[in-house]
C-alpha cells in the first residue's frame, strides 16, 4: 500500500493531480474558491462532481465563492449541497484519493496549516469513493443555472440594502445531522468562522497605552486573556456567535494598536459567562468589565508588543476596507471617514473578510518567525 502524509505545498499537489482531475474527479469541499477551481479543472473537464455547502450567508461573507459555482456549471460539472458539510475529500482520476483538512480555496491551498493523507491504494480509494457516493445520494438534486441566478440576486439585494442581519438561507440537504444531540462545545470544532473582529484588552484601566517594549506574556496575564476576553458591563457581547474569530489587540504608545493573538470564540451566555465575586475581588477592574466570551485554543505571539501586527499599518494599506462599518459607509458615498477612530468607539470592531484574511496572513508570518507562546 502507498500512503503519503501531506502537510505543505498543497497548491503543488493539486497542480500535479490536475490532469487526472480533468478526466474524472469527485470533490467534497464545504468552501470553494473560483480561481483555485478554474486552475484545477481547466475549461473542458470530462467528469466532475462536487459536494459543497449551499449556505448563502457564508457566500455573502466571502467564506465560499459563489462564482466558483458559476464556473463549475459552465464547464458541465454536477454540483450538489449538504448542510453542515465539513469533510474535505478529493478523488483524482478514480485511482488516487486524498482526505485532508484543506478546502478547495486559495487559503486552503496557499495559506492555512493543513494536513492530509494521499493514497493510490485500491482499497483506500474504494472506501473513500463509497463515502462520496453515500453522501451524493443524500444530497440535493443537481444545482441549476436558474437556482444559482436566484441566489446571486438574493445576495446582491442583501448587499444593496446593507442588510447584514438578515439570514439568506441554507439550501443544502439536511441529511439527518442533529446538533441538539451533541454538546455545544463538541459541535464547535465543526464550525467555520462567519465573522471576524478585533477585541481590545487593557482599556479597563482608563485607556492606558503600554510601551512597545512590553512582553506579550505579561499583557496576557495582566489583562486575563488566557482563556477569556472581557467586555464592559454596559456592552454585552450579544453579536458574537460560536465559531467567530477574534483577533486580540492592545493599545500602545506611540499611538497604535498591536494585534498579538487570535482565537475562535463561543457565544456569550448571559448569567453564566460573567465574573464571579471572587474574581472581582482579585482583579477590581472586572467590576466594570464583568462579561466575557470564552476562547478555544488561543494563539499568542512569542515576543514583545513591538514584534506584533500594527493595526495602523493595516489601516493605511486597506483604508475603508478595514472595518465592516467603514466599508458600508464608503459604499454609501460618505467622505472623510476616519478609519483609525473606528475601533475606539466600541469594545470590539468587526472586520471585513478582506481585512481578516490579511490579518491572518500577517499573524501566520509572525508565528513562523517568532513562534507561539506556551502558557
Query: Are 258 and 249 contacting, i.e. CB atoms less than 8 angstroms apart?
Result: yes
| 96 within some domain | yes
Range of the structural domain that residue 232 is part of: 187-370
Domains of the chain: total: 2
What are phi and psi for residue 185, nearest 5 degrees?
-70, -35
Residue 293 burial (CB count, 10 A): 23
Q: Is residue 176 one of the residues assigned to a domain?
A: no
Q: Say whether both 153 and 196 belong to one domain.
A: no
Which pLDDT value is given to residue 2? 64
181: in domain: no
Helix or strand run (H / E) with residue 297? strand 291-300
CATH number of the CATH domain containing 84: 3.30.870.10
pLDDT tens series, the chain, 375 aa: 466 666 667 778 888 888 888 889 999 999 999 999 999 898 889 899 999 999 988 888 778 889 999 999 999 999 999 988 999 999 998 889 999 988 998 888 887 778 888 888 888 888 899 899 989 998 999 999 999 999 988 888 776 665 444 567 889 988 764 443 334 444 444 444 568 899 988 754 445 789 999 999 999 998 899 999 999 888 778 788 888 899 999 999 888 999 999 998 888 888 888 999 998 998 888 998 899 999 888 999 999 999 999 999 999 999 999 998 898 888 888 888 888 887 765 668 889 888 888 898 999 999 999 999 987
The pLDDT score that the predictor gives to residue 342 is 76
Whether 243 and 300 map to the same domain: the answer is yes
Query: Does residue 146 sit in the same domain as residue 198?
Result: no
Residue 335 maps to a domain: yes
| 252 sits in which H/E element | strand 245-253
How far does CA 148 lie from the centroid of its chain? 23
Residues 30 and 82 in one domain: yes
Res 202: pLDDT: 76
Name every residue whose Cβ is closer than 8 Å to that of residue 272 and which is 6 or more positions away in sequence. Answer: none
Of the candidates 90, 95, 96, the one whose C-alpha atom is nearest the C-alpha of residue 109 is 90
Domain boundary among 125, 160, 195: 160
**CATH number for 203:** 3.10.590.10
216 and 131 share a domain? no
- Please state the three-class secondary structure of 303-367 as a single string: CEHHHCEEHHHHHHHHHHHCEHHHHHHHHCCCCCCCCCCHHHHCCEEEECHHHHHHHHHHHHHHH
Is the domain of 152 the same as that of 236?
no
CA 81 to chain centre: 20
Residues 243 and 111 in one domain: no
pLDDT for 186: 40
Three-class DSSP category at 80: strand
Mark whether 155 and 199 lie in a shared domain: no
- 80 inside domain: yes
Q: Are residues 136 and 241 in the same domain?
A: no
Residue 362: the pLDDT is 92
Q: What is the largest CA-CA distance in the chain?
A: 68
Same domain, 311 and 206: yes
In sequence order, the β-bridge partners of residue 300 are: 261
Residue 180 within a domain: no
| 344 and 212 in a common domain | yes
Cis peptide before 254 (omega within 30 of 0): yes
Is the Cβ–Cβ distance between 221 and 282 less than 8 Å?
A: no
The three three-digit cell numbers of residue 329, written as one number: 459607509
The confidence score (pLDDT) of residue 8 equals: 65
What three-state secondary structure class fits 374? coil
CA 40 – CA 16 distance, rounded (Å): 9
Residue 171 domain flag: no
Q: How far is CA 60 from the centre of its chain?
A: 13
Q: Cell numbers at residue 54, please?
A: 449551499
Say if 17 falls within a structural domain.
yes
CB neighbours of residue 181 within 10 Å: 8
Question: What distance in Å separates the CA atoms of residue 362 and residue 78, rounded to the nearest whole number?
Answer: 37
Domain final residue, candidates 160, 195, 218: 160
Amino acid at each position: 500500500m502507498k500512503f503519503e502524509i501531506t502537510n505543505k505545498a498543497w497548491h503543488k499537489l493539486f497542480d500535479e493531480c490536475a490532469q487526472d482531475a480533468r478526466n474524472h474527479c469527485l470533490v467534497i469541499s464545504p468552501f470553494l474558491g473560483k480561481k483555485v477551481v478554474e486552475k484545477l479543472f481547466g475549461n473542458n473537464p470530462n467528469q466532475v462532481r462536487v459536494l459543497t455547502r449551499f449556505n448563502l450567508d457564508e457566500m455573502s461573507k466571502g467564506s465560499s465563492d459563489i462564482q466558483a459555482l458559476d464556473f463549475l456549471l459552465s464547464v458541465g460539472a454536477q454540483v450538489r449541497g449538504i448542510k453542515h458539510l465539513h469533510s474535505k475529500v478529493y478523488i483524482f482520476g478514480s485511482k488516487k484519493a486524498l482526505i485532508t483538512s484543506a478546502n478547495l480555496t486559495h487559503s486552503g491551498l496557499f495559506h492555512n496549516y493543513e494536513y492530509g493523507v494521499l493514497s493510490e491504494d485500491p482499497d483506500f480509494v474504494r472506501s473513500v469513493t463509497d463515502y462520496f457516493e453515500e453522501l451524493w445520494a443524500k444530497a440535493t438534486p443537481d444545482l441549476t443555472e436558474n437556482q444559482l441566478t436566484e441566489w446571486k440576486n438574493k445576495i446582491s439585494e442583501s448587499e444593496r440594502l446593507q442588510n447584514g442581519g438578515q439570514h439568506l438561507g441554507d439550501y443544502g440537504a439536511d441529511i439527518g445531522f442533529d446538533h441538539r444531540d451533541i454538546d455545544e462545545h463538541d459541535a464547535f470544532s465543526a464550525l467555520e468562522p462567519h465573522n471576524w473582529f478585533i477585541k481590545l484588552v487593557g482599556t479597563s484601566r482608563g485607556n492606558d497605552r503600554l510601551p512597545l517594549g512590553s512582553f506579550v506574556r505579561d499583557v496576557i496575564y495582566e489583562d486575563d486573556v488566557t482563556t477569556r476576553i472581557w467586555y464592559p458591563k454596559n456592552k454585552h457581547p450579544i453579536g458574537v456567535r460560536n465559531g467567530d474569530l477574534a483577533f486580540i489587540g492592545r493599545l500602545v504608545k506611540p499611538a497604535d494598536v498591536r494585534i498579538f493573538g487570535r482565537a475562535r470564540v463561543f457565544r456569550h451566555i448571559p448569567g453564566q459567562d460573567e465574573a464571579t465575586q471572587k474574581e472581582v475581588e482579585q482583579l477590581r477592574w472586572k467590576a466594570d468589565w464583568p462579561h466575557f466570551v470564552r476562547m478555544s485554543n488561543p494563539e499568542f505571539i512569542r515576543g514583545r508588543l513591538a514584534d506584533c501586527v500594527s493595526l495602523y499599518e493595516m489601516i493605511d494599506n486597506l483604508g475603508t476596507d478595514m472595518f465592516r462599518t467603514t466599508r458600508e459607509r464608503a459604499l454609501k458615498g460618505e467622505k472623510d471617514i476616519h478609519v483609525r477612530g473606528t475601533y475606539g468607539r466600541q469594545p470590539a470592531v468587526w472586520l471585513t473578510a478582506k481585512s481578516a484574511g490579511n490579518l491572518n496572513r500577517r499573524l501566520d508570518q509572525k508565528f513562523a518567525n517568532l513562534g507561539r507562546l506556551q502558557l
